Structure formats: C-alpha cells, structure tokens
Amino acid sequence: MTEKIPVTVITGYLGAGKTTLLNRILTEQHGRRYAVIVNEFGEIGIDNDLVVGADEEVFEMNNGCICCTVRGDLIRIIEGLMRRRGKFDAIVVETTGLANPAPVAQTFFMDADVKEAARLDAVVTVADAKWLSERLKDAPEAKSQIAFADVIVLNKTDLVSADELAEVEGRIRAINPYAALHRAVRSDVPLQAVLERNAFDLDRILEIEPAFLEAEESGHDHDDGHDHECGPDCGHDHHDHDHQHGHGHAHEDHHAPHAGMKHFHDDEMHSVSIRHDGPVDPERFVPWLNDLIQRDGPDILRSKGIIAFKDEPRRFVFQGVHQILDGDLQREWKEGEKRESRLVFIGRKLKEQEIREGFEKIVLGASAAQETLHS
C-alpha cells in the first residue's frame, strides 16, 4: 500500500501571517518537496504571486466562498496531484483568512479518492497576537480557526506587550486548550512544529500537554448561533473584512518575561473529554458515536479519540469534523502501554452531561460506569 500524502492546512484570519509562514516552509532547507494549494478570496490571485520559490508549483483555488465552490476545486486539484505522485512529498493548503476550516478539513474525510490518497496531517492556525482578541469578538471565523487548530502559531508577538501576550494566550486556551501553541515573529516557528505532525494522534497532544484530559472548564450555554456552514446556495456576506495587518511599530520586547497565563471562560466554545480504563465493546461504542455525531454534529467542531476495544490488539482511532467521521484500527497497543480509551469533543453548546452519560450508560452499561474517570 502506498503511503498517504500528508496534508497541512494553514488557516488564520486575514493578515495573520499565513503567506509568511508558507514562504518560510518553501524556502527553508528541509529536503522535502511540497505541493502548495492556495485558496484565495476574489477573482484575481494575489497570494500566488507572493509565494516565493519559483520551483514550487502553486495551485490556486479561486473564486468565492470556500464553503461551497472550493471543496470541489480542492478535490480536483488533489486528484490531479495524485496523478503525479513521486514529484512531491507533502501538500500544504493555505486557506483564505475568511474561511471556516471545517469544509477544507472535511474534504479529507469525505471524498473517497482524496481519502484514499491523502491524509490530513494538521490544521495549523496562524493567529495575530495584536488583533486576535478583537477578532474573536466580531468574527466567528476567527474563533472557528482557533478551535480547529492542532497547532497555533501566535504570530506578531513583536507588536504586543508581555501582558497583552498573556491575555491573548489565555483567550486562545479558553477556546482550544489542546493545540500546541508557538509564539512567533514573522511566523518563525521551527518547521517541524508545523509540518508532518501527525497531529491527530492524541498521544502527541498528551506529550505536549500532559494535563490535556484533565480538569477543564466547560462554558455556559450561550451561542451567537453564527456558524459558517453554507448550503449549496451560499449567500454569505463577506464584505466586512477589515484588513487588519498590524503594521504598527514594535513597541515591546517580545522576549520579555512571560506574564503568566490568564484564564478566561469562553461562553461559546468548549470541550468535553472522557477517558476510560477498561475494554470498550465496539458494538455499543460505534452506534453511540455515530448517533451522537449525527445528532450534534453541527455543534461538534472536532472529535478525536483512541479506543481500547475488547479483545482487539490494535488501537481504534477516530476523528471527525462536524458530522463527518472517520475511524479505523491502527497500530497495536504496545507492551506495557496503558490500554486507556480517550475521547475529546470540541464545539459549541456541547451537551456535556448527555455525552458523558451516553458513554457511561450506553457504551459501558451502568455497571461499568464506575470505572470511568471524569476529567
């Protein structure tokens, strides 16, 4: 079987530093060859011309709302690329700053041919340290981009004070406590921090954030109801794009001591994590998960999990984006490795109690429920 090509999706609000990151990826010596797909908003491709490295092939997805037209474009481009396998090692997709990354991520689960050939390696969100806090208030896309991230590059730290940095990190953590977070100036993160991360592997998240599945706060049940899910006749109004490029003067040393993380409640976006120390019956688990995802999918932005099935030497790994779910048996549990199931749901208005009770009662059956560790 040929290896699936890893795909890195770079997202982030307008002007956050996505193209800067992409240029870094394309110019640094890493011995890997990347095919680049750029999604732009508007008729005329500009980003394409801003991307350096003439040797790299840049494919443009153009025109309109990514939710509707671009998915088809993306599928077409990836299928085209697959016919020229061997010419590149990985794919990087840069999305428009206005996109909700969900439809892009979903492409890698939904389209059978794409799924066969490529795997979503990580969603990397570039955030503008100067403007993110503001955008989180007025731009739902900005929030979705943070919530979706596996890796967050907190860029433009040269433009903020240590206090402001702590504040924005706290806001990011309130939305997404799981992503690896790197501070950057001109998107200067080590490339191994963003590329070929296999970020869907929960183990990696646990390495970075050992407390990942522990104590977290869930938000209240508020929602502004604005989720960017477009139908086929999307009539999105995308006109209020203020192009906040943060060209201010650097006024603080970004190496200033870390002011300590602030904690915020995010009323809208939160997460539910469950772990269970004991075998899980696939015949109960799979229908439960499918039902949950079908029913609450619109509110569940991301779901991921590793499950220890009864009498199964391999780990069952699933991940999903909204209603689209994908799971398979992967590597074997290692000698001495704790056979613990871990599940995470990230989204809006999650029915935490229902999810927990569902897992305990439906999946485990009431008697086994005691063993479940609440996190």
Ligand X SMILES: Nc1nc2c(ncn2[C@@H]2O[C@H](COP(=O)(O)OP(=O)(O)OP(=O)(O)O)[C@@H](O)[C@H]2O)c(=O)[nH]1
Interface residues with ligand X (CB under 6 A)? Answer: 12, 14-20, 47, 97, 126, 155-156, 158-159, 185-187, 245
Q: How far is the CB of 145 from ligand X (least distance, A)?
A: 11
Smaller CB distance to ligand X: residue 8 or 20?
20
Q: How far is the CB of 12 from ligand X (least distance, A)?
A: 5
Torsional class of 222: left (φ above 0), alpha (ψ -120 to 50), beta (otherwise) = beta
Q: How far is the CB of 164 from ligand X (least distance, A)?
A: 14
Locate 7 and state its tokens: 């795909």
Cβ burial 20-37 (10 Å sphere, 16+ → b, else e): bbbbbbbeeeeeeebbbb
Smaller CB distance to ligand X: residue 10 or 286?
10
**What's the longest Cα–Cα distance across the chain?**
63
Ranges assigned E (strand) in the chain: 5-12, 34-39, 58-61, 90-94, 118-128, 151-155, 180-183, 269-276, 300-307, 314-321, 324-332, 341-348, 373-374
Nearest residue to 96 (alpha-carbon basis) of 57, 62, 134, 138:
62
Gap between the Cα atoms of 105 and 148, Å rounded: 9
Beta-carbon count within 10 A of 277 CB:
12
Smaller CB distance to ligand X: residue 66 or 363?
66
Smaller CB distance to ligand X: residue 47 or 111?
47
Place of tokens 């570039």: 126
Q: How far is the CB of 53 from ligand X (least distance, A)?
A: 15
Smaller CB distance to ligand X: residue 140 or 282?
140
Gap between the Cα atoms of 351 and 353, Å rounded: 6
Q: How far is the CB of 200 from ligand X (least distance, A)?
A: 24
Q: How far is the CB of 189 from ligand X (least distance, A)?
A: 11
Smaller CB distance to ligand X: residue 18 or 315?
18
Locate 102 and state its tokens: 């969900």
Q: What are phi and psi of 241, to 5 degrees?
A: -85, 95
Beta-carbon count within 10 A of 220 CB:
11
DSSP three-state, residue 239: coil
Q: How far is the CB of 244 from ligand X (least distance, A)?
A: 9
Cα dist. 149→57, 124, 143 in Å?
Answer: 26, 6, 10
Smaller CB distance to ligand X: residue 92 or 205?
92
Smaller CB distance to ligand X: residue 245 or 284?
245
Q: How far is the CB of 184 from ligand X (least distance, A)?
A: 6
